[in-house]
Chains A and B, each alone.
Chain A
Amino acid sequence: QKEVEQNSGPLSVPEGAIASLNCTYSDRGSQSFFWYRQYSGKSPELIMSIYSNGDKEDGRFTAQLNKASQYVSLLIRDSQPSDSATYLCAALDTGGFKTIFGAGTRLFVKA
């Protein structure tokens, strides 16, 4: 069964620090990867997508992909209390139709 694995946390970091979130995936054919943020009581919203090995930066967010290691990460620089949420890692399966989600990592940023 194709899976995406994440540490459920909670991950707690002080305001201004770098938060590092990680996940691994089992489907070697996956080519597209996503990070979603979900605030309590809300629906998941996409914050980053990455398709090629290496780093992709967008503001305070950097996604990293290593297909050989089947590893995806998200770095949040200068963490803010408003970043406190659950972060879901997701991979599009080989067929390209189904997005497989990890269970999510809860992040707390302490002011």
Chain B
Amino acid sequence: DAGVIQSPRHEVTEMGQEVTLRCKPISGHNSLFWYRQTMMRGLELLIYFNNNVPIDDSGMPEDRFSAKMPNASFSTLKIQPSEPRDSAVYFCASQGPLASDTEAFFGQGTRLTVV
């Protein structure tokens, strides 16, 4: 397996524009997580899905953020409209079905810069 695949790796956009980040989890994993990492706040969990269903979105900072998982092999995180304070590295991670004996595998991340 190629691991968790995120795209794009880097994104530079202007304030007010819509940004869509994409993630393909590891095949067979049934939990998917979106994290945001900044120097100030560390690694923050934004939302996670189990079996394609959003379980906990309490980490989503504002209504400008939305996430979808239309099937087991694809998820998106959308920011509309984007703001400079959204600049961060966004990680997607997936986890296998054995909840008591598994760990999260991370994608390479998307570095988002909003100018």
Contact B103 A97, beta carbon cutoff 8 Å? no
Chain A residues with CB under 8 A of B33:
98-99
A80–B60 CA distance with the chains assembled, in angstroms: 38
B55 at the interface (CB under 8 A from A): yes
Chain B residues closer than 8 Å to A100, beta-carbon distance: 45
Q: Give residues 65-115 of B contacting A (CB, 8 Å).
A: 91, 93, 95, 99-109
Residues of A within 8 A of B7 (CB): none
Q: Do A104 and B99 touch (CB < 8 A)? A: no
Say whether A45 contacts B106, CB under 8 Å: yes
A11 to chain B, nearest CB (A): 16
C-beta contact mask, A35-48 vs B, less than 8 Å → 1, else 0? 00000001111100
Report which of B45, B103, B109 forms a contact with A46, defined as CB distance below 8 A: B103
Residues 74-111 of chain A: 1 if any B CB is under 8 Å from the residue's CB, otherwise 0? 00000000000000101010011111111110000000
Residue A43 contacts which of B50, B99, B101, B106 (CB distance < 8 angstroms)? B106
Alpha-carbon distance between A24 and B76 when the two chains are bound, in angstroms? 33
A7 to B31, CA, bound (A): 29
Question: Which of chain B's residues have a CB closer than 8 A to the CB of A49?
Answer: 103
Given contacts A44-B106, A97-B55, A98-B48, contact A51 B101 (CB under 8 A): yes
Report yes or no: B108 in contact with A43, Cβ–Cβ below 8 A. yes
Q: Is A31 a contact of B100 with CB atoms below 8 Å?
A: yes
What residues of A have a CB within 8 angstroms of the CB of B50 in the complex?
97
Q: Interface 1/0s, chain A 46-73, versus B by CB < 8 A?
A: 1001010000000000000000000000
Return chain B residues, CB-CB under 8 Å to A98.
33, 45, 48, 55-56
Identify which of B42, B45, B100 gathers the most chain A CB atoms within 10 Å of its CB.
B42
Could you jot down 13 A-B contacts, CB within 8 Å? Answer: A34-B104, A43-B91, A51-B100, A96-B100, A97-B50, A97-B56, A98-B33, A98-B48, A99-B45, A100-B45, A101-B35, A101-B45, A104-B42
- Which A-B residue pairs are the 5 nearest by beta carbons? A96-B99, A103-B42, A43-B106, A101-B43, A46-B103
B interface, CB within 8 angstroms of A: 31, 33, 35, 42-43, 45, 48, 50, 55-56, 91, 93, 95, 99-109
